[in-house]
Amino acid sequence: MSDGPLDPAADLPLSDLPLADLRVLDISSFIAAPAAAVALADYGADVVKVEPPHEGDPHRHNWKNPGYPQSDRNFPWQLDGRHKRSLSLDLKNPEARPVLERLIARSDVMIVNFPPPARERLRLRWEDVQPLNGRLVYCSLTGYGESGPDRDRPGFDISAYFGRSGILDAARYDGGPPGISLPAQGDRATAMTLVAAILMGLRHRDRTGKGCWVGTSLYANGVWANGTTVAGALVGAALPVRHGPDKPRNALTNLYRTADDRWLQLLVVRDDRLWPAFCQAIGRPELETDPRFAEREARRANALALGSELAAVFALRSWAEWEQRFAPTGIPFGVIGRVADVVDDEQAAHAGLFAETDNPAIPRTVNTPIRLGFARPRKAGPPPEVGEHSEQVLRELGYGEDEIAALRRHGALG
């Protein structure tokens, strides 16, 4: 992994990582909230994940979902379960409550993502746990918010982040159906908001000595991601209809298919300065003075004609040839990347996108996007099995062997 600027001593021992003294209680499932806990653990936090006995977090089994990339290895759990210690505890069992309360009492951060009615039934609301630990930073994630008519509705990123926020509708081409997002895209963006909220809560605690509630919703994060479009709607702005590449409004900020069936992305927003260089780069110098395209206003007015000209030009050469031609010019361009290309992208390695692991079955995974000049995230081993650390955590809480055995007999412990 590479990224910079990094201090030469960035590979710190666990005890020196910035969150090494932080105790995080992760009582969440699926992706967004657990991914936030992973980001904290990457930089040293001790994360205890509480999950139901036997099956554990349902996300453990998502790798079998037909909508996921197909593999015989559980790569999503390596991504979202790494660094954590698993405590298998049945929160519906009254015998489990004292264990949970001891955990809450010693934790710095508690992360939950149950809908409000479930939190109420399980006594996991802020008002339920705050008396147990006056310094606790309590972080909750909902689908649609903590109040209002839809506060109790379960939310997933495709429904709350992408669907309700208007992203999928606004991004579709005129006359076409809404697209469907790929697995967990909104969840991962939302996880970073949770990390920021938690760190702000810890800053508040540092200053006041008091814990607090922090949180967010998938809906809020979707609207934030769609902020430019929604901000326009707030002032009554007309939302433009989106056309496909064959009907561009601006032929110089459009997609074009290359000879090897790749899609080249043009972003020539400063065509007032770059138009001559662009015409030279594509081997069509005569277009520079063509009356239909010579001035910016004319290029916009004749976008369909210019788009047709450019589509024919770009179809003549491969993506690699176009990259070679454009790279020295300063003309903004790119390629619509394929996931298979990203994993071997030299620039991805320099940007620190991937993390090596000590798990032979899954030697690389995706890194969290946070970069620090003074520390790198720690290397992960295999993610935990359900309840792998139950006895270890209980002993740390002061439970003896007989008490642990009794919890198992009563079904509180998996």
Whether 30 and 60 share a structural domain:
yes
The verdict on residue 314 lying in a domain is yes
pLDDT of 388-405, one tens digit each? 999 999 999 999 999 999
Give the residues across from 214 on adjacent strands.
Answer: 139
Pick from 278, 259, 248: nearest CA to 173? 248
Whether 54 and 199 share a structural domain:
yes
pLDDT of 338-352, one tens digit each? 998 999 999 999 999
User: Above 70 in pLDDT, residue 355?
Assistant: yes
Whether 142 and 220 share a structural domain:
yes
Whether 167 and 208 share a structural domain:
yes
CA distance linking residue 129 with residue 120, whole number of Å:
11
The verdict on residue 249 lying in a domain is no
Whether 260 and 377 share a structural domain:
no
Whether 330 and 378 share a structural domain:
no
CA distance linking residue 380 with residue 376, whole number of Å:
12
pLDDT of 356-385, one tens digit each? 999 999 999 999 999 999 999 999 999 999
Pick from 313, 192, 207, 180: nearest CA to 254? 313
Whether 73 and 183 share a structural domain:
yes
CATH number at residue 190: 3.40.50.10540
Domain boundary among 309, 341, 373: 341
User: Above 90 in pLDDT, residue 184?
Assistant: yes
Domain count, the chain: 2
Whether 266 and 386 share a structural domain:
no
- Provide the domain limits for residue 296: 255-341
The verdict on residue 350 lying in a domain is no
Whether 120 and 207 share a structural domain:
yes
User: Above 60 in pLDDT, residue 1?
Assistant: no
Q: Which amino acid is at 355?
A: A
pLDDT of 67-99, one tens digit each? 999 999 999 999 999 999 999 999 999 999 999
Other CB atoms within 10 A of residue 15 CB: 8
Whether 148 and 295 share a structural domain:
no
CATH number at residue 312: 3.30.1540.10
The verdict on residue 104 lying in a domain is yes
Q: What is the band of 10 on the pLDDT scale with cuts at 50, 70, 90?
A: confident
The verdict on residue 215 lying in a domain is yes
Task: Indicate if the alpha-carbon torsion angle 121, 122, 126, 127 is positive or negative.
Answer: positive
Domain boundary among 311, 341, 371: 341
Instruction: Report yes or no: 34 and 49 within 8 Å, Cβ to Cβ.
Output: yes
Span 294-305, mean pLDDT?
A: 97
Task: Indicate if the alpha-carbon torsion angle 355, 357, 362, 368 is positive or negative.
Answer: negative
Report how far apart, in Å, the C-alpha atoms of 266 and of each of 245, 263, 273, 311 are: 11, 10, 15, 12
Residue 26, judged by CB atoms within 10 A of its CB (0-12, 13-18, 19+), counts as buried
Q: What is the band of 11 on the pLDDT scale with cuts at 50, 70, 90?
A: confident
pLDDT of 206-239, one tens digit each? 999 999 999 999 999 999 999 999 999 999 999 8
pTM for this model (two decimals): 0.92
- Write down the mean pLDDT value for the chain: 95
Q: HEC string of 202-258?
A: HHHHHHHCCCEEEEEEHHHHHHHHCHHHHHHHHCCCCCCCCCCCCCCCCCCCCEEEC
Span 194-201, mean pLDDT?
A: 98
The reported pLDDT for the residue numbered 9 is 60
Q: Is 12 helix (H, G, I), strand (E, B) or coil?
A: coil
Q: Is 367 helix (H, G, I), strand (E, B) or coil?
A: coil
Domain boundary among 341, 365, 380: 341
Write out the H or E segment, with its range, that includes residue 1.
none
Whether 330 and 383 share a structural domain:
no
The verdict on residue 238 lying in a domain is no
The reported pLDDT for the residue numbered 4 is 64
The verdict on residue 57 lying in a domain is yes
